[in-house]
Amino acid sequence: MLLLAAFSLLGFFRLARTVANSTVAACSTLQVAIYPVFFAQSSLAQVDLPAAGLIFWGLESYLRNRRTLVDARAPWPALIWFSLAALAKETAILVPLALLLCQALSRISNISSASHSQPASDGKQSAVHPGAEKPSIVRSLALLVPAIPLALWYAYHYARTGFVFGNPEFFRYNVQQTMHPLRILLALLLRIWQTLGYLELYVLTLACGAAMIFVPIKDAHGDRPRIPLPGQFTFLTVAIVYLISLSVVGGAVLARYMLPIVPLVILVCVSTIWRRLPAWKPVIAIIVLAFVSALFVNPPYGFSPEDNLAYRDYIRLHQRAETLLAHRYPNARVLTAWPASDELTRPYLGYVAKPMQVLKIEDFSAEQVLSAADARSRFDVALVFSTKYQPEHTSFDQWRLWQKWKSRYFGFHVDLTPEVAARVLGGRVVYVDRKPGQWIGIIEVEKIEEASILLHRQ
Please give the pLDDT value at position 199: 94
CB 174 within 8 A of CB 250: yes
Q: Is residue 357 part of a domain?
A: yes
Query: Is 50 exceeded by the pLDDT of residue 70?
Result: no
**What's this model's pTM, rounded to 2 decimal places?**
0.87
Residues 311 and 449 placed together within one structural domain of the fold: yes
- Collapsing DSSP to helix, strand or coil, 32 comes out as helix
Q: Is residue 421 part of a domain?
A: yes
CA distance 334 to 331: 9
Q: What is the pLDDT of residues 368-395, one digit of tens each?
A: 999 998 888 889 999 999 998 888 766 5
The better pLDDT of the pair 51, 142 is held by 51
Q: Is residue 114 part of a domain?
A: no
Residues 293 and 318 placed together within one structural domain of the fold: no
The arithmetic mean of pLDDT across residues 52-81, rounded, is: 80
Q: What is the pLDDT of residues 315-360, one digit of tens each?
A: 999 999 999 999 999 999 999 999 999 999 999 999 999 999 999 9
The arithmetic mean of pLDDT across residues 143-156, rounded, is: 94
CA distance 331 to 346: 15
Query: Is 60 exceeded by the pLDDT of residue 221?
Result: yes
Please give the pLDDT value at position 393: 64
Give the closest residue to 442 by CA, choosing from 451, 433, 455, 452.
433
Q: Is residue 25 part of a domain?
A: yes
Last residue in a domain, options 246, 266, 297 = 297
Q: What is the DSSP letter of 303?
A: -
Cβ count near 382 (within 10 Å): 30
Pairing of strands 333-337, 218-219: unpaired
Q: Is residue 383 part of a domain?
A: yes
Cβ count near 337 (within 10 Å): 21
Cβ count near 131 (within 10 Å): 9
Residues 289 and 427 placed together within one structural domain of the fold: no
Residues 6+ apart with CB under 8 A from 108: none
Residues 312 and 215 placed together within one structural domain of the fold: no
CA distance 43 to 5: 9
CA distance 370 to 64: 60
CB 24 within 8 A of CB 16: yes
CA distance 265 to 451: 61
Please give the pLDDT value at position 414: 86
Q: What is the CATH number of the domain that holds 370?
A: 3.40.50
- Collapsing DSSP to helix, strand or coil, 391 comes out as coil
Give the closest residue to 11 by CA, choosing from 64, 79, 59, 67.
59
The arithmetic mean of pLDDT across residues 19-27, rounded, is: 96
Q: Is residue 241 part of a domain?
A: yes
CA distance 253 to 187: 7
Query: Is 70 exceeded by the pLDDT of residue 449?
Result: no
Q: Is residue 131 part of a domain?
A: no
Q: Is residue 123 part of a domain?
A: no
Residues 291 and 321 placed together within one structural domain of the fold: no
Domains of the chain: total: 2
Last residue in a domain, options 262, 297, 332 = 297
CA distance 346 to 126: 71
Please give the pLDDT value at position 268: 97
Residue range of the domain that includes 318: 307-457
Residues 434 and 319 placed together within one structural domain of the fold: yes
Residues 50 and 196 placed together within one structural domain of the fold: yes
Burial 62-84 (b: 16+ CB within 10 A, else e): bbbbbeeeeeeebbeebbbbbbb
Give the closest residue to 444 by CA, choosing from 413, 424, 422, 417.
422
Please give the pLDDT value at position 113: 59
Burial 19-56 (b: 16+ CB within 10 A, else e): bbeeebbebbbbbbbbbbbbbbbbeeebebbbbbbbbb
Last residue in a domain, options 272, 297, 322 = 297
Q: What is the pLDDT of residues 100-139, one digit of tens each?
A: 999 888 878 766 655 555 554 444 444 334 344 455 677 7
Residues 354 and 404 placed together within one structural domain of the fold: yes
Q: What is the pLDDT of residues 232-285, one digit of tens each?
A: 999 999 999 999 999 998 888 899 999 999 999 999 999 999 999 999 999 999
Please give the pLDDT value at position 127: 38
Residues 71 and 204 placed together within one structural domain of the fold: yes
Please give the pLDDT value at position 188: 94
The better pLDDT of the pair 222, 322 is held by 322
Residues 173 and 290 placed together within one structural domain of the fold: yes
CA distance 11 to 240: 22
Query: Is 60 exceeded by the pLDDT of residue 431?
Result: yes
Residues 257 and 326 placed together within one structural domain of the fold: no
Residues 273 and 321 placed together within one structural domain of the fold: no
CB burial of residue 270 (10 Å; 0-12, 13-18, 19+): buried
Q: How confident is the model at residue 197 (pLDDT cuts 50, 70, 90)?
A: very high
Please give the pLDDT value at position 429: 93
Q: How confident is the model at residue 177 (pLDDT cuts 50, 70, 90)?
A: confident
Query: Is 90 exceeded by the pLDDT of residue 295?
Result: yes
